[in-house]
Amino acid sequence: EPEVTQTPSHQVTQMGQEVILRCVPISNHLYFYWYRQILGQKVEFLVSFYNNEISEKSEIFDDQFSVERPDGSNFTLKIRSTKLEDSAMYFCASSDSFTANYGYTFGSGTRLTVV
């Protein structure tokens, strides 16, 4: 079964450093997303991406964050100048045109720890 792949599974970084979280969505999917889950809290929407541009973003997704699809297979989330409160699980997801409203496939996540 096709899956969304995320790397690394765990990233530890010093406060103030930049991190790039990587995702390989399912190959025929057109819609890409990043969500995050702070420990013990709910899964929160960060951003959706379609046709090489951001289609929607949340208030969490401020200038500290950026997304990119640098080639035909990867989808990245960059966090500049990380803060302690950025520590969370970050999930990438993708969907096709028929399931974009409900049928995400999530990756297993990257656990980001900011120290």
Partner 1 sequence: QKEVEQDPGPLSVPEGAIVSLNCTYSNSAFQYFMWYRQYSRKGPELLMYTYSSGNKEDGRFTAQVDKSSKYISLFIRDSQPSDSATYLCAMSAAQKVTFGTGTKLQVIP
The mark string for 73-102 relative to partner 1 (x by CB under 8 A, - otherwise) is ----------------x-x-x------xxx
Q: Does 41 bind partner 1 (CB under 8 A)?
A: yes
- Strand 65-68 to strand 75-79: parallel, antiparallel, or no bridges (unpaired)? antiparallel
Which residue from 11, 13, 58, 76 is in contact with partner 1, where contact means CB under 8 A? 58
Q: What is the DSSP letter of 73?
A: S
- Is 21 a residue that touches partner 1 (CB under 8 A)? no
Residue selected from 65, 75, 107, 112 as contacting partner 1 according to rule CB under 8 A: 107
| CA separation for the pair 93, 106 (Å, rounded) | 4
Angle of CA points 70, 76, 81, to nearest 5°: 120
